[in-house]
A = this chain, B = another copy of it.
Amino acid sequence: MTRNISVEGLDQIPIEKQRIELVERKCLGHPDSLADGIAESISRALSRSYLEECGSVLHHNTDQGEVVAGESLPKFGGGTITKPIYFLISGRATKTFNGINIPADAIAVEAARDYIKSILPTINMDRDVIVDCRMGKGSTDLQDVFRSCEGKVPRANDTSFGVGHAPFSEAESIVRGVAAFIDDTLRPKYPVIGQDCKIMCLRDGDAITLTIAMAFVDRYCSGIAEYIEQKNFLTEQIAAVAKQFTRRSVNVAINTADDLEVASVFLTVSGTSAEMGDDGSVGRGNRANGLITPNRPMSMEATSGKNPINHIGKIYNLLATQIAQDCVAKVDGIEEMYVRMLSQIGYPIDQPHVASAQILTKPGVNINSVKPDIEAIIDEWLEKTPTITEKVIRGELSTF
């Protein structure tokens, strides 16, 4: 069956020429990202277990859950978490199938705790954390859907859509680059940097301001003097990296709400603000491409935690992003590209109601000259939609 693929030209001011652009990323230790990461870990663990025990991924959606902040008394040199952070696992999962019992609750708790441990190495898992579980049972009807489609392309669970774009703008690249620099280079050397960083980039014309809220880990900082020193040092390091992405001016500011005179600073025991005041929820932070981009089309669907088989809110968001990036990489002449994919409930997921690409071509490039290649790439990706599922289960695709 021919797929309904629509490629059309777009006539708008390119992102780089719009006056104001905003980009944000909540790094892994941010409460919303913790919620996302736990949700996705649980979905992966369940998927693996379903595959092992039943031969196919059964119905589940763990794209819910709540991080309820604890209370803490951070202190230079090392403070205390006084009230544990509470994590509620909700969502639903198939617990029995065809006579096989899947210990879904135990799997979920373990996956959540393992994830928290990996992201927050400073936390005492036996003291500072409560992981609770109120996960419901999966619905029979949807299980039927799954059962019926063995060997076939799964059918969409909902009428829903996904969006993606490429390439990344300068501001987007800066945020991604700085996030990676903090995570891969700085933190391994300077454990004072908590996992909870929120990076906000404002481009106002050609002036870029990078505002970073970065949780410092108190045990690695002896006092206000060292805090200031470290903050200054990190500001410089990050500015240098940010400048590699742009010729525009870049100004970096870390923890602008600090009041240094009274030593009121962003100091934490564990490196996350979830320890003392900030709750988090699944689907409230980064989109599937790792960014929050109000200048771009965004989907409100939580990508993390949804089942990777037939949940459009997950698959199409990931797929749309992959498609846009692939087109930009392989086809010359694309200035900007937006992909929107709309499913229809009950139909095979490789047959969307419409897969629509909007292309802003580079000067002098006609939309018709790139259209066939783009259509072919989209069709090819749709053909291999199930590979998205596999990549997700293997943890090769990030969802937030």
A366 at the interface (CB under 8 A from B): no
A227 in the interface (beta carbon within 8 A)? no
CA–CA, A11 and B11, complex, Å: 7
- Residues of A258-297 whose CB lies within 8 A of B: 264, 276-277, 279-285, 287, 292, 294-297
B-side contacts of A297, CB under 8 Å: 294-296
By the criterion CB–CB under 8 Å, are B88 and A163 in contact?
A: no
Contact segment of A61-69, A176-184, A381-389: A61-69
A223 at the interface (CB under 8 A from B): no
Q: Please name all residues of chain B whose beta carbon is closer than 8 Å to the beta carbon of A81 when the two chains form the complex.
A: 103, 106
Q: C-beta contact mask, A98-132 vs B, less than 8 Å → 1, else 0?
A: 00011111110110011000000000111110111
B83:A161 contact, CB within 8 angstroms: no
Residue of B with least CB distance to A284: B283
User: Inside 8 A of A325's CB, which chain B residues have their CB?
Assistant: none
A307 interface hit (Cβ, 8 Å): no
Please determine whether B95 and A82 come into contact, CB atoms closer than 8 angstroms.
yes
Q: From B91, B200, B277, give the contact of A279 (CB < 8 A).
A: B91
Contact A346 B284 (CB under 8 A): no
Asked whether A300 lies within 8 Å of B292 as measured between CB atoms, the reply is yes
A128 → B minimal CB distance (Å): 6
Q: Tell yes or no: A149 within 8 A of B by CB.
A: no
Chain B binder among A12-20, A229-237, A391-399: A12-20
Shortest Cβ distance from residue A289 to the other chain B in the assembled complex, whole angstroms: 13
- Hey, which chain B residues are within 8 Å of A200, CB to CB? 159
Binds B, one of A136-144, A167-175, A189-197, A368-376: A136-144
Of all chain B residues, the one with the shortest Cβ separation from A135 is B68
- Residues in chain B near residue A71, CB distance under 8 A: 105, 136-137
Number of copies of chain A assembled together:
4
* A133–B134 CB distance below 8 A: no
Contact A211 B159 (CB under 8 A): yes
How many Å lie between the Cα of A102 and that of B83 in the bound state? 10
| A44 contacts B by Cβ under 8 Å | no
Q: How far is the CA of A82 from the CA of B264 in the complex (A)?
A: 30
Residue from B83, B106, B114 in contact with A80 in the complex, judged by beta carbons closer than 8 Å? B106
Question: Interface residue tally of chain A, by bracket?
Answer: 35 or more
Q: Are A340 and B294 in contact (CB under 8 A)?
A: yes
Q: Indicate if the CB atoms of A88 and B91 lie closer than 8 Å.
A: no
A355 and B302 alpha carbons, distance in the complex (Å): 29
18 pairs from A and B in contact (CB 8 Å cutoff): A11-B13, A22-B342, A68-B90, A69-B136, A70-B136, A82-B106, A83-B105, A84-B109, A107-B127, A110-B124, A130-B132, A132-B132, A136-B277, A256-B346, A257-B345, A281-B283, A294-B340, A296-B297
Known: A22-B340, A68-B90. 16 other contacts (CB 8 A): A18-B358, A20-B340, A64-B66, A80-B103, A83-B106, A106-B127, A110-B126, A114-B126, A130-B130, A130-B133, A132-B132, A136-B279, A256-B346, A281-B282, A281-B284, A298-B298
Interface residues of A (CB under 8 A from B): 6, 8, 10-13, 18-20, 22, 64-66, 68-71, 73, 80-84, 86, 88, 90-92, 95, 101-107, 109-110, 113-114, 124-128, 130-134, 136-137, 139, 141, 159, 161, 163, 200, 202, 204, 211, 256-257, 264, 276-277, 279-285, 287, 292, 294-300, 302, 340, 342, 344-346, 353-354, 356, 358
The 7 A-B pairs at the shortest CB distance, nearest first, are namely A12-B12, A82-B103, A110-B127, A64-B279, A83-B105, A68-B90, A113-B126
